[in-house]
Amino acid sequence: MWGKVGRRAAGMLLALAILLLGEASFVFSRSAGAAPTPARHVIVLLVTDWTFADLAAMRDRPGMGRLLRGGAVAATSLRTAGGYGDVAVAVTFGAGAPAVAVSRAATGGDVGEWRGARTVGQHYARAAGSAPPSGVAVPAVYQLAAANAAEAFGAVPGLLGETLKTAGLRRMVVGHADMDEAPRRLAPLFLMDRDGRVPEGVFGPPVMRPDPMAPGGWRTDVAAMQEAVAGFLRGPSGVMAVEFGDWARLAAEKPQMAPARWAAERAATLDALDRLVQGIAMRLGPHDLLLVLSPSVHREAWEQAARVTPLLVYGPGYATGVAISASTRQGGWVTGTDVAPTVLAHFGLSVPAAMSGAPIAVRPGQADAVFDDVDKRVAVYRLRQNVVPPLGVAMIVVLLVAFWFTWRVRRVVSAPSLPRWTAVLQGALLAVLALPGVLLLLAPWAVAWPWAAYALSAIAVAAGVGVLLRRLSPFHALGWVAAGNALLLLADGLAGGPLSRYALLSHDPIIGARFYGLGNEYSGVLMGAGVLAVSALWGTGRGGGRWVRGLLLLGAVAAFLYTAAPGGGTNFDAVTAMLPAFVLMFWRLSGKAVTPRTLAGVALLLAGVVAGFLYVHAAAPEEQLSHIGRAVRHVLAGEWDPLVDIARRKWEMNMRLLRVSIWSKVFAASLIVFIGYLLHSGGHQSAPADRKFLHGLSGGALGTMLALLLNDSGIVAAATSSLYLVVPLLYLNLAAVQKMDAPRHLHTPFTPL
């Protein structure tokens, strides 16, 4: 019996052993056969002082041609918190936010390199307290951190490197843009951590060769550089920044070189760059990414206002097309702040809150379209510098002359010539109001005409509009010129902005102030024109004009919704000014009494609309998130620092614009006219129609004040909106003067706005 039991037990134990061995074998085989996580790499090729004209010269070469045919291309806005300097841009690339530079920031290097009487490591030790035993150091890192902490953008130098270090990813920099003995090291600024360290770096042989006959005394050894990249790609996951400085050295020495010598060096440098790009692209694995970009343009391009640089992205997820980011929402345009988030996204890492940029994506498109768009944007930028200031001066002259004329008319003209002079001034005032819409309509010709011809054409068309509309009654003339501006802006916005893309008063990607939506100039125009159109046309039409009022109400709602929509104007500052302005305007036009209950109801309505506006922006997908949506998400996460930074930026921007912008002078002229109107109106009782019209304009006065206080370029929006407030006052005064025998003071009676 026990023998039988023993045999059964032994059989069970044997079966159990077999099962255990089989399971172990399965587990072992499954573990041994599992594919390891593939290494991922990002190679960032920094071509210092490189422009679109330089890229255009390489479009048919094997290396660049490969990237243009198989990757994505875009223009990079180089605007930083400190202007356009190469050091500030390199720090911006690594911080993911607009940064400023400090002196000697580009003198980092290997800790054993000499800088004057001390090594880089010794210079670093004076700042940090101890020198790193090896690798690359940037001695100015703590000065950079302090300088940027004091700025409103809150950039954190080295944040990209710090994030990569925390994730355990490798970092390496090679190459430089030195000029003889003068160091110019931008790659370390891009990949350093917050302590100014990069673990690996090669700045001399074999990747760089001293050559007394080469521009700047140095030449990149392309074959050695390719091998350095290949060795990095065979290693663990990480990021390598390759700085190709030959082009910068050549551009710097061009003025002192013989034309034939420069042409020969240019051909050799283009060939070296293309071979380097070709060699890197051929060595990339299926999980590796190549970014080619430039932190600066050379002097010649700067003088021609071509202040954007090319960016090419080649690798997984970036098929042939044009690059785009949530920062710009413009196909073929990105910002320097988008570089760091793009690198982090390749490794699946979260973008830190201190980075204001967004990962670069790709959408269908052609490289030729990007080249063409850059040429047009540069042409419009140059045109804007030549045309907008004179037109602003012309507006100021018209406002002040019209004001002086209505005040001192008895001493200026005789009674027989009074109608002629008032007609001229009324036409000029209507032309001032028509000019923003005229500039929008003339946008297709902005890139083709000389600036003088364009300015004269704009003035002629605006003057023609003024002559035609002056034949109407004052309210109709003012109402239709304002309605025309508003309808043009809305129609263009609904069509995707084909006119505003190249309009002189629209956003400008060259200076990097805004890339999409309703710009500051036209946001003021839309609000001011909307208030004027409704106020002037509210009482027109037979039967009380109910159908007219319905259309005006519908138009005002459309203007607000377009300004607030994430895919439309996307201008929160304009919304905060426009909504109270429109509410006050309709309230006063309706003649409703002001009671505590109505005030509470309006306040709740405004709060609800603003909350809904913010929710729509914050609920958008990550890749479509606007700057407003990102700010709301930070606040909801309890991160108030970005909101404080935004407030600081608004204040600093307005203070700067007060000093340098022509719009500050336009606003000052409007303010003088408005104050003069209040002081010299005479205090007479006005006609009911005049009173209702002025009641409606009170919304424009409120909106102008709010735009000045809340907009990041408040002086600009306030200047354009104020034109639609003071020009009607002058126009009605001239109409009244024409009916009188040259009165001494302004005729239009004082009615509180």
In terms of domains, do 72 and 174 share one?
yes
Work out the burial of residue 610: count CB atoms within 10 Å of its CB; fewer than 13 is exposed, 13-18 middle, 19 or more buried.
middle
In terms of domains, do 300 and 422 share one?
no
What DSSP letter does each residue of 449-463 carry, written as one string?
A: S-HHHHHHHHHHHHH
pLDDT of amino acid 25: 41
Of 444, 334, 336, the residue nearest 383 (C-alpha): 444
pLDDT of amino acid 633: 66
Per-residue pLDDT reduced to its tens digit, 113-156:
999 899 999 999 999 998 888 999 999 999 999 999 988 788 99
Give the C-alpha separation, 412 to 398, whole Å: 16
pLDDT of amino acid 189: 97
In terms of domains, do 348 and 415 share one?
no
In terms of domains, do 320 and 424 share one?
no
Of 290, 333, 342, 350, the residue nearest 96 (C-alpha): 342
Kind of pairing between the strands at 72-77 and 118-119: unpaired
Q: Is residue 5 part of a domain?
A: no
Q: Is residue 193 part of a domain?
A: yes
In terms of domains, do 397 and 314 share one?
no
In terms of domains, do 454 and 565 share one?
yes
Work out the burial of residue 354: count CB atoms within 10 Å of its CB; fewer than 13 is exposed, 13-18 middle, 19 or more buried.
middle
In terms of domains, do 416 and 296 share one?
no
3-state secondary structure of 752: coil
Q: Given 313, 339, 365, which residue is the final one in a domain?
A: 365
- Cα maximum dimension of the chain: 142
- The reply to whether omega before 206 is within 30° of 0 (cis) is yes
pLDDT of amino acid 532: 96
pTM (2 d.p.): 0.84
Contacts 24+ apart (CB under 8 A), 86-90: 86/48, 86/49, 86/184, 86/186, 86/295, 86/296, 87/186, 87/189, 89/295, 89/296, 89/336, 90/46, 90/186, 90/187, 90/189, 90/190, 90/295
Q: Given 338, 365, 392, which residue is the final one in a domain?
A: 365
State the residue range of the domain holding 686. 375-738
In terms of domains, do 485 and 605 share one?
yes
Read off the pLDDT of each residue in 442-464 and give the average, rounded to a whole number.
92
Of 296, 280, 302, the residue nearest 44 (C-alpha): 280
In terms of domains, do 318 and 413 share one?
no
Sign of CA dihedral 365, 518, 522, 97: negative
Residue 324: give its domain's CATH number: 3.40.720.10
The residue type at 598? T
The answer to whether residues 712 and 551 touch, using CB atoms and an 8 Å cutoff, is no
Per-residue pLDDT reduced to its tens digit, 512-557:
777 888 888 999 999 999 999 999 998 765 445 678 888 999 999 9
pLDDT of amino acid 31: 38
Read off the pLDDT of each residue in 680-703 and give the average, rounded to a whole number.
75
Of 494, 445, 374, 499, the residue nearest 73 (C-alpha): 374
Position 16 confidence tier, pLDDT thresholds 50, 70, 90: very low
Q: Is residue 341 part of a domain?
A: yes
Percent of the residues in the chain that have a pLDDT greater than 90, as a whole number = 58
Per-residue pLDDT reduced to its tens digit, 203-227:
999 999 999 999 999 999 999 999 9
The answer to whether residues 489 and 525 touch, using CB atoms and an 8 Å cutoff, is yes
Read off the pLDDT of each residue in 338-353 and give the average, rounded to a whole number.
95
Q: Is residue 8 part of a domain?
A: no
- Number of domains the chain contains: 2
Position 15 confidence tier, pLDDT thresholds 50, 70, 90: very low
The per-residue pLDDT of the chain, averaged, comes to: 85
**Is the per-residue pLDDT at 630 higher than 60?**
yes
Position 28 confidence tier, pLDDT thresholds 50, 70, 90: very low
pLDDT of amino acid 648: 62
Give the C-alpha separation, 481 to 466, whole Å: 8
Q: Is residue 3 part of a domain?
A: no
The residue type at 76? T
Q: Which residue, chain included where needed, has tokens 């080619």? A: 292
